[in-house]
Amino acid sequence: MSIVANLKCVWNYRVLVQNLVGRELKARYRGTVLGFFWAFFNPFLLMTVYTVVFGFIIQPHDPAFQGSPWLYALFLFCGVLPWTWFSSTMLESANVLMINGNLIKKILFPAEILPLVTVTSNLVNFLFGLPILLAFFPLLGKPFTPYMLFLPVVILVQFVFSLGLGLLISSLTVHFRDIKDILANFLTFWFFATPIVYPLSFGTISKSGVLRTFLNLNPMTHIIGGYQSCLFYGELIHWKKLGLTFLLGLLLFWAGYTVFDRLRDSFPEEV
């Protein structure tokens, strides 16, 4: 079957995807006292920790932060929140086929639904944390701007990019289990290679053409930069860079789905 035909098949299972996402979210908070409130409370705790460590202890200097550790924490959280969605998706994608081996062994079950459920459930968690982030804007004197309306565009780019990479990782990990361990360390490096805890205008980066080129080759630089532009800086997202990242995401989705489709017959034997 072609990719288009397979995608039509997945669309027919959209109710199943919705049910599996709901099951995943319920399982994540089952047995906890606060339940779904953890989806709001976790981002708040994360922002508090990063504010103390980076805002008051390290105290980075940049004109955009106006010498305020709270504004820096807000900048930081504009990147940490979507990065958490991305990194959680990648780590969970590495295990999703093996954990759900009983479903894969069912003849009529489309296995590509599982990475899609992983990306979507983490997207829902991201959306739960977004109001926490936005609540701090008026508290810290940052105005809401019309450029925030471009936020869905950035979310779409990240969703396509994450889904493509998730399909690739989930299919390859079935045959190469070492990917899980390599991935955890690689994501740590990827985090610091993305302008999240520092802005692109940081002195060392602005003075080094090689370093700036390296960061611009990182697709997550432009995705995180999109969040920072429309949320923190209140300016238009960089359409060209984000557009190229979206095209890369589509190419990655095609490559990931192709590999996934080629290996799908071997999944029941390997999981």
Helix ranges restricted to H, the chain: 3-12, 14-29, 38-50, 69-99, 101-104, 113-139, 151-175, 178-192, 203-207, 209-216, 219-227, 239-263, 267-270
Which one-letter amino acid corresponds to residue 262? R
Tell me the pTM.
Answer: 0.89
Q: What is the pLDDT along the chain (271 residues), one digit of tens a residue?
A: 567 777 777 777 778 888 888 888 777 766 665 555 666 667 677 777 777 776 666 656 666 666 677 788 888 888 988 998 999 999 999 988 888 777 777 667 788 888 999 999 999 989 988 888 888 888 878 889 999 999 999 999 999 999 999 999 999 998 888 888 899 899 999 998 999 888 777 666 767 678 888 888 999 999 999 999 999 988 999 999 999 999 999 999 999 999 998 888 888 777 6
Tokens in use for 20? 């599996």
Q: What does each C-alpha distance from 234 to 150, 151, 205 come to in angstroms?
A: 11, 11, 22
